[in-house]
Copies of this chain bind each other. A is one copy, B any other.
Amino acid sequence: MRTAPRLPLATPAAVEVLTRILTQGPIARVEIARKTGLSQAAVTKAVAPLVEAGYVVDAPSARDDTVIGRPVSPLSVVESSVAAIGIKVTPGELFGVVTDLRANIRIARSKTLPDTSPETALDLLAILVGELLAAVETGDSPLSTGTTALAGVGVSVSGDVDATAGVVRHSAFMGWRDLPLGALLHERINLPVVVTNDVRALTVAEHWFGIGVNANSFAIVTIGSGIGCGLYLNGDVVEGAHGVAGEIGHLPLAPENLVCTCGRHGCVETVASSDAILARVREDTGRAELDLAGAIDLAHAGDEQARAAFDRAGQVIGSALAAMVNLAGPELVVIAGEGVADYDLYDHRIRAAFAQHAFGAAADCELTIRSHTFDDWARGAAATVIRSYIRTEPPF
């Protein structure tokens, strides 16, 4: 698949116009003008080279009899014109997808990671990219090597990631510190590489292609082996001036004597991560052989000690949600992630603690649950590539 050329976007206004078509299309020129404050002439001027180059299609719709006047002619992106690869890195496995321009997953593959050393991860990332590209070649998807161009490869990792430099500053799960993952992977695959925090990537996907299209603000809170949060406020994802934001798992809301995987004391994750819950259940029941599924079964069966561990986690998560909502005030909170499977065990406790500590009208914030698969996480990395490609951010 050829590498996608630079998009014909001469001005910031043109970027804005393409973003509207991408995220809200089919959309009429007049509607884009209304939403962006640009003149219709400016919209038309921005759209022309995109249509010319085959990224946008101008599809006159059937005349709507209820409306007087000219038929509306809405604009859409050509989904198969551009593809993006997204890969979510976890300690045991790499999850990869190829998406089209609207971040629809067209191909998905995964790869076992025998260890978490940077060398192993880089080797297998390169192999996975190769397999994903080969899958496009075989033609089993709507993507075609003839007409689809590849924007680049996005890799998402949990922890403190400097997305601008492509450096994983610290990932406790992977045991990585100051790893220039972007540059090292680029050396191996010779494609544009974007490295990003995994929750941030999920938030970008929701912002452009999910709940964010209709919400003025939202937060995604992921519960699992880590607890993370992506924030969308004032029209964009909160990136953090120093690259850190949404670290809800590291709010100091747990007892100060508990030490976190990050080395700090009293982080939410010391009580509420799935590892912390499992450790607690093992300790309190004396059953060192339990795995997480076993601990969940035990709690479901009514074991008091197991239930208490989930309750304690729910209490801290609910307090953390209240802290986040009191500070950021999002319209809604989506709870997502690996841990959603056992969410019923602490749902009640989370909501009770949230209600206890949410300040005033912040308590009106809606909490919803949505299950996310690892492919959804990988899609987030692909969505980040698409966003950077359209905004002409490095490395594009």
Contacts and interface: CB of A to CB of B under 8 A. Distances in A.
A331 B265 contact: no
Contacts of A12: 36-37
A166 interface: no
Contacts of A13: 37-38
Interface in A22-61: 36-39, 42
A251 B327 contact: yes
A330 interface: yes
A115 interface: no
A247 B324 contact: no
A323 B252 contact: yes
A251 B362 CA distance: 12
Q: Taking the full assembly, how many copies of this chain does it contain?
A: 2
Contacts of A184: none
A250 B357 contact: yes
Contacts of A319: 252
A362 B244 contact: yes
A219 to B, nearest CB: 9
B327 A248 contact: yes
Interface stretch (A75-83, A148-156, A232-240): A232-240
A281 interface: no
Contact of A242 (B160, B244, B329): B329
A170 interface: yes
Contacts of A217: 241
A233 B233 contact: yes
B360 A160 contact: yes
The residue in A36, A236, A244, A325 that gathers the most chain B C-beta atoms within 10 A of its C-beta is: A244
A264 interface: yes
Contacts of A39: 42
Interface residues of A, number: 61
B245 A327 contact: yes
Interface in A328-351: 328-332
A365 interface: yes
A301 interface: no
A162 interface: yes
Nearest to A241: B331
Contacts of A234: 233-236, 238
A40 to B, nearest CB: 12
B326 A244 contact: yes
A42 B12 CA distance: 14
Given A37-B11, A235-B235, A252-B323, A244 B357 contact: no
A16 interface: yes
Given A238-B328, A252-B319, 4 more contacts: A247-B326, A252-B322, A252-B357, A264-B356
22 contacts: A11-B37, A16-B37, A160-B361, A233-B233, A233-B234, A241-B329, A241-B331, A242-B362, A242-B364, A242-B365, A243-B360, A244-B326, A246-B327, A247-B327, A248-B326, A250-B357, A250-B359, A251-B326, A252-B319, A253-B253, A323-B327, A327-B328
